[in-house]
Amino acid sequence: MRSVVCTRPGLMELEDRETPTCGSGEALLRIRRIGICGTDIHAYGGNQPYFSYPRVLGHELAGEIVAVGDSRDQALVGQNASLIPYLHCGECRACRKGLTNCCQRMQVIGVHRDGGMCDLLAVPTVHLIPSASLSLDQLALMECLAIGAHAVRRSELDSDSLAVVVGAGPIGMGVVQFARENGARVVVIDPSEQRLAFCRETLGIELTLNPTQEDPVEFLAGISDGALADVVFDASGNAHAMQKGFDFVGHGGRYVLVSIVKSDITFNDPDFHRREMTLLSSRNATREDFDRVASLMAAGRLQETAMITHRAELAEVPEAMPRWCAPSHGVIKAMVHLAPSA
């Protein structure tokens, strides 16, 4: 079968690999869609901290279940499904507490082990989310949006809150949509005028800010009677922006780091204590978050497919990836297609 392998930072190659089989508790997924996310872009650029090479990328996946390892799962064959790519151990303390998203022995498909940039992938059956109503594009976007759903749920954001989302990439746009679902007043900060316009025109966010043109602290103080934000979410993937975000949090506020970078993040301790700020990280998502995404997609409450701006076939990915990583190409979400007969 075909596989696209990131052999080293900056280089992807199309290879022929052995077709997998599925064992007990597994299903064989014929990949039909692969969403490209910030993790893939950072891995391609050599900036993903949990990554080793060579690696087959791809964890935002949708496909058709074509075989199962156990006869009791036979009804799944022929169904389209999304995949929860976080393979948790089920035995560590985090898993026993239901925190499967941050398992001590976490293996993420497409990060710690080879992913879905291929024709066929054997996956645990319990990690599949079959759907007869959602499109392949929607199914491939579930993981991306579940990251945002988890971050907002973790923040305990309520309808009386002023929420700031720094970084208007696909993850940030997911955070924006779930923050709005919680009834919060939302501000989006990003240096890209194109992405800010998308947030205004497509997502319906009235308050947007380009930090290269306006001072975010002054702006936030002006719309909050000096109180600043109740909750700040960083989805920028930029260490400087992540550190700057501490300045946006008001007294008693919460700062949720959705981004991850290969560097240290520091803050001023007296200011941190003076505001009695809460600092949170948000990693991956749980089935609860995926179920919420599926429910809101089915209800038509999300603008998920509007985020797809670029498309390519699997064999075109090695050539397309450098373009997708360049800000000048205006990519919000790239989607890889595999033909039904692949």
**pLDDT confidence tier of residue 172, bands split at 50, 70 and 90:** very high
Print the domain residue range for 258: 147-281
Which of 335, 326, 342 minimizes the C-alpha distance to 44? 326
Mean pLDDT over 79-104 rounds to 97
Within a domain: residue 263?
yes
125 shares its domain with 159 = no
Write the Ramachandran bin of 38: left for phi over 0, alpha for psi from -120 to 50, otherwise beta: alpha
Euclidean distance between CA atoms 338 and 310, whole angstroms: 14
Within a domain: residue 138?
no
**pLDDT confidence tier of residue 39, bands split at 50, 70 and 90:** confident
In the three-class reduction of DSSP (H, G, I as helix; E, B as strand; rest coil), residue 205 is classed as coil
How many alpha carbons lie under 13 Å from residue 17 in its C-beta half-sphere? 19
Within a domain: residue 24?
yes
96 shares its domain with 176 = no
Q: Please, are residues 100 and 91 in contact by the beta-carbon 8 Å criterion? A: no
269 shares its domain with 329 = no
Within a domain: residue 296?
no
Within a domain: residue 297?
no
Euclidean distance between CA atoms 80 and 70, whole angstroms: 18
Statement: residue 339 has pLDDT above 90: no
| Number of Cβ atoms within 10 Å of the Cβ of 296 | 17
**pLDDT confidence tier of residue 29, bands split at 50, 70 and 90:** very high
Euclidean distance between CA atoms 27 and 70, whole angstroms: 9
Within a domain: residue 142?
no
Q: Quickly tell me which residue has 């305990």 as its tokens.
A: 156
Per-residue pLDDT of 3-17, as tens digits, reads 999 999 999 999 999
Statement: residue 341 has pLDDT above 60: no
Which range among 38-47, 112-121, 140-149, 188-197 shows the weakest confidence by mean pLDDT? 38-47
How many separate domains does the chain show? 2
186 shares its domain with 117 = no
Per-residue pLDDT of 266-311, as tens digits, reads 999 999 999 999 999 999 999 999 999 999 999 999 999 999 999 9
277 shares its domain with 202 = yes
87 shares its domain with 161 = no
Per-residue pLDDT of 99-122, as tens digits, reads 999 999 999 999 999 999 999 999
How many alpha carbons lie under 13 Å from residue 245 in its C-beta half-sphere? 34
Per-residue pLDDT of 300-333, as tens digits, reads 999 999 999 999 999 999 999 999 998 888 999 9
What average pLDDT does the chain have? 96
How many alpha carbons lie under 13 Å from residue 129 in its C-beta half-sphere? 28
Within a domain: residue 222?
yes
126 shares its domain with 24 = yes
239 shares its domain with 209 = yes
**pLDDT confidence tier of residue 49, bands split at 50, 70 and 90:** confident
Q: What is the b/e burial string over 190-203, where b = at least 16 CB atoms within 10 angstroms of the residue's CB?
A: bbbeebbebbeeeb
CATH of the domain at 321: 3.90.180.10
Within a domain: residue 175?
yes
151 shares its domain with 276 = yes
Q: Quickly tell me which residue has 């941050």 as its tokens.
A: 102
57 shares its domain with 23 = yes
Task: Provide the token pair at 289.
Answer: 């978050």
CATH of the domain at 215: 3.40.50.720
